[in-house]
Structure 1
Amino acid sequence: MARIVSAFLIVCLSLPSWAEGAAGGAPKTPSVKLPGPAFTALETINPEHIRWHVRFLAHDLLEGRGTGQRGGDLAAEYIATQFAEYGLKPAGDHGTYMQKVPLVGITTLPETRFTLVPKRGEAMNLKPLDEYVAYDQTQQPESNVDAEIVFVGYGIEAPEYNWDDYKGVDVRGKVLLMLVNEPPSDDPKFFKGKALTYYGRWTYKYEEAARKGAVGVLLVHQTQMASYPWEVVRNSNSGEKSALKVEGPALKVASWIHLDVASRLASSSGASIDKLMTSANSRDFHPVNLAARLEAHMVSRIRNFEANNVVAILPGSDRKLADEAVLYTAHYDHFGVRPDMPGDNIFNGAEDNATGCGILLELARAFGGAPIRPRRSILFAAVTGEEQGLLGSEYLGKHPPIPAGKISLDLNYDDVKPLGAPEEVQVAGAERTSFYPNVEATSKEFRLNIRPDARPEAGHYYRSDHFSLARVGIPSFSINEGMKFKGHPESWGLDKEREYVEKHYHQPSDEYRPDMDFVGDSAMARFGFALGWEAASLPKLIGWQKGDEFEAPRLKSGGQ
């Protein structure tokens, strides 16, 4: 097996040497306002180059690129080799391409017991993965919880929206039952209407509960509210979970429970889950003490290890601006191998996110091969641990290769569907930055309509690596196709998106297929190339719109 892996790596690591001549299938780009040599470099971006990277990164030999697993390490080495081949300089630790990210692996073991105990009726011993998933955020090998359960609605305290689910109730030492997402509304001034804010994300709910002294959270899964089925929760939380080393308050039990379990729990407490959920939609909601307890014995295997962000830089041409940069990001990790899973147990992650990595590498090649350089430097970061909670990008944001206040913009690529030539582009979050007029103008030059977020309720802005950079003040957004593709009605793109989420997202079936059409991925790469070059050439750094939630950290960093 080792010889096979080595031979395959030797062939694929030499991709640039035999990829250069493959120009077939590269679409023509409309006239774009770039210097002639830069436009020439943009025109070299080729869908087949992206295909080759995706085919390799999603191959079974890379074992799903798990964080802290052999396949993830192989992917990092591959990406670093490509950066070097393209003439980019290392921007990681100690003159290397690798930025080491210290992590803790947490595996919830079969000895764990998870029991809901109502005051009346029989105790419910829950089945792991089928009825609940849980891990210990305190990162201890063993811990016990025996605590009352309190329903806290959506678990949100948001003074700017005049919303407080806690109402000052002391929840220290309690286990909190709560709903995912936010109170539904069409009013754009109320939690931004249908668009999810960070208050709706499960990460916020865990964080807020821990800050208030709770020992555990039971997060109720509903497919429509979560925007993905239970299988995604199960696959995302089985096996080893990775985390940055814990700092500050943490939960002994961070869990999701199936809606059926929540219904049984409410009924055993003399309540109705439907009535509880309805009451949670009111500003007048008040926490409800359920006549039940959680008795949990958490047993975990704890492993300290390091994974790598892969970081490279193309120095800028302007001596006054070269210490500033535009950043491109994509995560290279997926869920690796699950040895205990029957059948196909490799989570290849072709769309999520070998596609984004393929685009990142093709951008690196195009920038590195350009006969001229932009005024500011260009940073490229393939980050680890996204599937575990944006870990690599969080670490990158806290430990950037240059100060965050000098990074003008982050353009992120995540899960770019290989479905052919797009007629639309999605840039959710770009409208929050001072760069948005440039984005609008460039989209017109590319003859791409800007599509509003197709699923605003899914909260995509808070679910990918650009969010980690935004939290430290860097103007950031992801680039992706819309739902309208040439030669197809809009319903076709929507159906493809629905099919992917229901059948392949975070499943072993997210695999490379020869019939994948990467023309759209190359179009997104070209669009991002043009935006990045322009951002690197502006006289001033990009900022956030006045009053945006990320304006304060930008001002603190000195970047606005």
Structure 2
Amino acid sequence: MYKIFKTVLAIPFIIACSSQSNKFNEEDGLSVFNVDSLKKHISVLASDDFMGRKPFTEGETKTVAYLQEQFKQMGLEPGNGDSYIQEVPMANILATAAPNMQVKSAKGNFNLKAFDDYIIWTDKTDSSISLDNAELVFAGYGVVAPEYNWNDYAGLDVKGKVVMVMVNDPGFWVGDTTLFKGKAMTYYGRWTYKFEEAARQGAKGCLIIHNTAAASYPFSVQQNSFNTTRLKLDNRGKNIPNCDVIGWVPEKISHQLFAAAGFDSSLLVKANQPGFKAVPLGLQLSTTMNVKASFNKSSNVVAKITGTKRPDEVIIYTAHWDHLGIGRPDKSGDSIYNGALDNASGTAGLLEMARVFKNMKVKPERTIVFLAVTAEEQGLLGSAYYAENPIYSVKKTVANINMDGLNRFGKTKDMVVVGQGQSELEDYLKEAIEKTGGYLSFDTHTEAGYYYRSDHFNFAKVGIPALFANNGVDVVGKGKEYGETLENEYTSKNYHQASDNYDAATWTGDGAINDLKLLFTIGRRMGFETSFPKWKEGSEFKLIREKSNK
């Protein structure tokens, strides 16, 4: 999931063109929201009994059963024909790395220690994976971006080799905002892209150099998943390239490797210069991984309320139900990664949203869909599968509203849109929040690329306008500094840690309910409109939508 820090930006409000029916009361549904109902769902989903909700575990079985039962009790219809389930075929891969990686250099040989000095895994399902004196090449940011006139692989043959690349976009590590989108990360900066591009180039391996600011989280986040099972979509029979070995090295280890090759860390600076050429390091890497793979099907859970007049036009609310399961114990001995905020809270919000829509006095004219997706933490897999295999026409899907982490503290004056300037949905939200006396703000850590880091991204990739909005930091009665402190504390101490637990004493719920009401308001509005919200000029997704509508 995301984790962001926020600030306020004033923007002119552009009224989205619409032809809204006036058949519903502005207050319809708002009084139905209930803090106790929301908190009950969070407490259940984030309990130890659900074992961290990792797909392919008993935690998934319990979670999926709970979600189906709740939708049934509310009286919602199955969202996939006569079923509440969309099966998601996936591979479950356990790659156990050898304890060391051998490095050969002209200056002498040495070992790197797994977990401390590097983290590796594989997306391949072979029984064993090995690097045997594979040549290491430093390929800058590992980016091929014609629209930015940037190609780190220009003239480079990396077949059978390991590329070492930097996370984030060119320019970020040196603060050069003239490159790419400046401070704001593009998809080229995401670690997922780095692995994808290295595989397309034919590399045998790809190691990303970790930097806390550039990645937006500490190296410990990667260490938590070391030698644990990972999931990917089951792509057997499809011609999708993968590197044999993928992973991360801390920045200090990249310095050690540069030194062994006769260079220094200035390469990390030079890589930010247009025209930078990749550097073969003259180092050879050797290590192994034992791989156990199994194939199974996880579940997206989907329910709907059929529209009264235009049932083929749909608005989709999403939240990912999964988290990290049981993993490495923390200092207190806790090994269950309950994921209370991430994302038991959003999943609970999805259930509460469904209950409120079901209890509206005047039913929406468009169909409202509630989609709880699997395996977000494994790479947005459930939403990716849905986008590739949509239950509802992409062309007739009006919008996606995604919930990934709700406000666990008090009400805030603001609400944050991630991905400023992407679609008219932010204008809908701006109008809704200003009617309540609040204001819209935007994430300030655009370098972290949060718009590409939760499930709405897969809807955007196929052209569906997608809104990702989170709680603000301007806490009523306590101010922005207080809210920012809480956000920083969560990111540094609880994000993807076993300590992300539900605390009934401090999770007030009123802030979450306030935000849910806003997301409900804009979904309700679209439910009675005949127009479709649009992508804004400058959005990379605008052309995709226009092509799909032809």
Q: Which has the higher helix share?
A: 1
Q: Which amino acid aligns with 1:432?
A: Q
Give the letter aligned to residue 163 of structure 2: L
Q: Which residue of 1 aligns with 2:263?
A: 271
The residue number in structure 2 matching 1:346 is 336
For 2:22 and 2:470, how far apart are their aligned partners in 1?
21
Does 1:377 find its partner at 2:367? Answer: yes
1:399-425, Cα deviation, whole Å (9 max, x unpaired)? 121111111100000022301101111
Look up the equivalent residue of 2:164 and give its one-letter code.
Answer: L
Q: Is the 8 A contact 1:232 1:506 kept in 2?
A: yes
**Residue of structure 2 in register with 1:149 after alignment:** 136
Gaps of 5+ in 1: 1-31
Q: How does 1:50-89 map to 2 (within 5 A)?
A: 50-89=38-77
Whether 2:160 is the aligned partner of 1:173: answer yes
Letter in structure 1 aligned against 2:179: F
Distance 1:121 1:544, change over 3 A: same
- Aligned partner of 1:534 in structure 2 is 525
Q: CA RMSD in A?
A: 2.0
TM-score of the superposed pair, with normalisation by structure 1: 0.89
Could you tell me which residue of structure 2 aligns to residue 367 of structure 1?
357
- Contact 2:21 2:529 (C-alpha < 8 Å) held by counterparts: no
Whether the aligned pair in 2 keeps the contact of 1:38 and 1:372 (CA below 8 Å) is: no
Seen in structure 2, the aligned counterparts of structure 1 residues 34 and 228 have a Cα distance that, compared at 3 Å, is farther
Q: Distance in 2 between matches of 1:71 and 1:280?
A: 44
Which whole-Å CA distance do the structure 2 matches of 1:195 and 1:429 have between them? 9
C-alpha change, 1:540 and 1:362, in structure 2 (3 Å) is: same
Number of residue pairs aligned between Structure 1 and Structure 2 = 523
After superposition, the C-alpha distances for 1:195-224 in whole angstroms (9 at most, x for unaligned) are 111110000111111111111101111111
Q: Is the 1:429–1:476 Cα contact (8 Å) retained in structure 2?
A: no
Match of 2:224 in 1: 235
CA distance, structure 2, for counterparts of residue 507 and residue 436 of structure 1: 31
Aligned residue in 1 for 2:438: 448
Residues of 2 paired with 1:278 and 1:511: CA distance? Answer: 40
Q: How does 1:543-554 map to 2 (within 5 A)?
A: 543-554=534-545
Matched residue SS, 2:443: coil
Q: Distance in 1 between matches of 2:541 and 2:177?
A: 19
**CA positional deviation for 1:38:** 6.2
Percent identical across equivalent pairs? 36
Cα distance in 2 between the residues matched to 1:141 and 1:396? 29
TM, length-normalised to structure 2: 0.91
Return the alpha-carbon distance in structure 1 between the equivalents of residues 320 and 334 of structure 2.
23
Question: Which piece of structure 1 moves more, 437-446 or 66-75?
Answer: 437-446
**C-alpha contact (below 8 Å) 2:418/2:470 kept by paired residues:** no
Aligned partner of residue 40 in structure 1, secondary structure: coil
CA distance in 2, matches of 1:339, 1:126: 18
* C-alpha distance in 2 between matches for 1:36 and 1:508: 44
Conserved? CA contact 2:209–2:251, under 8 Å: yes
1:181 Cα offset (Å): 0.6
Deviation at 1:238? 4.3
Letter in 2 for 1:450: L
Letter in structure 1 aligned against 2:323: H
Does the C-alpha gap of structure 1 residues 490 and 155 become closer, same or farther in structure 2, counting only changes over 3 Å?
A: same
Alignment correspondent of 1:507: 497
Structure 1 stretches of at least 4 aligned residues deviating more than 6 Å after TM superposition: 186-189, 339-342
For the 8 Å contact 1:38–1:371, the answer to whether it is kept is no
Structure 2: give runs of 5+ residues left out of the alignment: 1-19
**What secondary structure, in the 3-state scheme, does the structure 2 residue paired with 1:442 have?**
helix
Contact 1:430–1:439 (Cα < 8 Å) also in 2? no
The SS at the match of 1:109 is strand
**1:136 aligned partner:** 122
For residue 206 of structure 2, what is the aligned residue in structure 1? 217
| 1:254 matches 2:246 | yes
Measure, in 2, the Cα distance between the counterparts of 1:374 and 1:189: 46
Write the mapping of 1:329-478 to structure 2, written as runs, cut at 5 A: 329-338=318-327, 343-429=333-419, 431-478=421-468
SS at match of 1:371: coil
Q: What is the CA distance between 1:33 and its match in structure 2?
A: 10
Return the alpha-carbon distance in structure 2 between the equivalents of residues 34 and 134 of structure 1. 56
Greater CA drift, 60-69 or 178-187: 178-187
Greater shift after overlay, 44-53 or 463-472? 44-53
Cα distance, 1:448 vs structure 2:
2.4
Secondary structure, aligned partner of 1:509:
coil
Secondary structure at the counterpart of residue 426 of structure 1: strand
* Equivalent AA in structure 2 for residue 83 of structure 1: F
More contact order relative to length (CA 8 Å, sep ≥ 6): 2
CA distance in 2, matches of 1:189, 1:525: 38
2:514 counterpart letter in structure 1: A
1:340–1:521 Cα change, 3 Å: closer
Which residue of the partner structure matches residue 78 of structure 2?
90
